[in-house]
Chain A
Amino acid sequence: MKALLLKDFLAMKSQLKMIITILLLFIVVSFFLEDSFYLVLSIFIFGTIQVTASFTYDEMSHWDLYANTLPLEKSEIVKSKYILSLLLSIGTLLLFSPILLLINYWTNGIPLIDFLPIICLMATGSLIIMSFLLPIYIKFGPQKGRLFLFLIVILPIIGFNASLSFILDKLPPVETLQKLSYVSPIFGAILFILSYMLSVKFYETKEF
């Protein structure tokens, strides 16, 4: 497991300068626009892109062919991708939380009590996207996976826009929504675990 994560992070290291530059850019943009939402969004996109990039590096080098000659359980290979995606999305979000809060404080943004539900919802969103994305990437590889990524991102947006007025009418009170947002990561986590189990099944039937 450690070796697999190390491999992904070492491969990512070559892009470290670019990643830091982009994140700094978003910190500056968030600060000047007095809206930390851009930073949250960039972290969110950054995490997803890096996970998909790790699959692309693997595919380009035929890493899975080699990894399966090593004394590594197939479930371990799958688990490493799930842990990588957690570290890159929620881990980075937590890592940047102090900066987010600082920007929010300096720019007199939304109150802290409203900020936490947003982070919770972002974490849940990230878990849900990864839960769909990872089995698809594991089953079909990054080439076809990219098409699915597009659908995973675009379909909820279309669906949300189409049903916006309906949703707004039916929404429960704000307090209930806030409470729901706090527990939402639990549902995200359950979906994430189920997705992992499905991915292991996919990976076990794969031939290289």
Chain B
Amino acid sequence: MTNAIEVLNLNKKLHQFQLRDVSFTLPSGTIMGFVGENGAGKTTTIKCLINLLKKERGSIKLFGLNQESNDIAIKEQIGVVFDNIHFPEMLTPKQINQLMGAVYKTWDHHYFLKLLDQLKVPIHKPIKQLSSGMKMKLSISTALAHYPKLLILDEPTSGLDPIVREEILDLFLEFMQDEEHSILFSSHITSDLEKIADYITFIHEGEILFSENKDDLLYQFGIWKGSLEQSKDLPDHSKIRMKKSPFGVEILVKRNEVNNAFYLEKPTIEDIMLFYVKGDDIK
């Protein structure tokens, strides 16, 4: 199986912020949720992936090709969606169809119009008159109509209502019907990722804290709740992070290193994120 994305020891410094040895792999045919709080480095990493920012060190490969020396060939095969649409706002979807047809060799005018029709996006209205949900649907349709192999999505569902988010997630799942297709999906709405992601990569203060299969990740961790005194019964090597709560402490533990006698709650991705960001390291 080839990898859609391979990032190894990516380093990039930007003003007060720095990506440090960012590494992760997105196997073809899978969806990776890229999570982290605002300012953690999600957008910077994505921008380095598509050469919008120049990396300082490290290696980036897309479809097994070196990103710097195969820039155009790679960009023919990817679709990128940001949290906003970036066409001049007086353009209409119909005009976007016209101009994108001149950008991509593989642009399918009919498929684009079919997608817009399916998503009920009016084709004659200028972008400035579309709602934010409509704009995002237009943006995603634009990313899909040249049949990319990889979608790179930077916060595509932030600021959208649950109905539109659901429609958009369905569109991504439809895209994934082809087993060669892959998605890198950055978001801080972790419930969206829980629905569709196969892998979760968590970035915090410019460093990757983990990049793992979602099911393994959710199974591997458990949340123990109790008093600080009671927590001493837990084996030390099982404890990962601890948060203080109004009722005592909450501890993120490795499930397989804790005796079954302890009641552990199943964490969500958001819980794990909060433990890493807000909690204390207890090792």
| Residues of A that sit less than 8 Å from B by CB | 2-3, 6-7, 10-11, 13-14, 57-58, 60-63, 65-66, 68-73, 207-208
Contacts and interface: CB of A to CB of B under 8 A. Distances in A.
Contact of A207 (B53, B101, B103): B53
Contacts of A10: 88, 90-91, 95, 98-99
B100 A71 contact: no
A12 to B, nearest CB: 9
Interface string B145-158: 00000001000000
Contact of B91 (A7, A62, A66, A69): A7
Given A11-B88, A68-B52, A71-B103, 19 more contacts: A7-B91, A10-B91, A10-B99, A11-B91, A14-B126, A61-B85, A61-B89, A63-B87, A65-B86, A66-B82, A66-B86, A66-B87, A69-B75, A69-B152, A72-B72, A72-B75, A72-B103, A207-B47, A207-B54
Contacts of B75: 69-72
B81 to A, nearest CB: 9
Nearest to A54: B88
Contact of A6 (B47, B99, B152): B99
Contact of B80 (A61, A69, A72): A69
B84 interface: yes
A3 B84 CA distance: 21
Question: What range describes how many residues of B lie at the interface?
Answer: 20 to 34
A128 to B, nearest CB: 28
Nearest to A8: B88
B100 A62 contact: no
B78 interface: yes
B146 to A, nearest CB: 9
Contact of B50 (A2, A3, A68): A68
A58 B88 contact: yes
B104 interface: yes
B86 A3 contact: no
Contacts of A72: 72, 75, 103
Interface string B37-73: 0000000000100111110000000000000000011
Nearest to A68: B52
Interface string B103-144: 110000000000000000000001000000000000000000
B76 interface: yes
A65 B99 contact: no
B105 to A, nearest CB: 8
Given A68-B51, A208-B47, A62 B102 contact: no
B230 to A, nearest CB: 52
A63 B78 CA distance: 17
Nearest to B14: A207
The 8 lowest CB-CB distance pairs between A and B, nearest first, are: A66-B86, A3-B102, A69-B80, A71-B75, A14-B90, A11-B88, A208-B52, A57-B88
A62 B84 contact: yes
Contacts of A65: 52, 82, 86
A58 B73 CA distance: 25
Nearest to B78: A69
A43 B114 CA distance: 42
A65 B87 CA distance: 10
B99 A7 contact: yes
A187 B126 CA distance: 42
A117 B175 CA distance: 61
A58 B80 CA distance: 18
A70 B103 CA distance: 7
Contacts of B52: 65, 68-69, 207-208
A65 to B, nearest CB: 6
A10 B102 CA distance: 14
Contacts of A7: 87-88, 91, 99
Given A6-B99, A73-B72, A11 B84 contact: no
Nearest to A76: B72
Contacts of B88: 7, 10-11, 57-58, 60-61, 63
A53 to B, nearest CB: 10
13 contacts: A11-B88, A11-B91, A13-B90, A14-B90, A61-B87, A65-B52, A66-B80, A66-B82, A66-B87, A70-B75, A71-B72, A72-B72, A72-B75
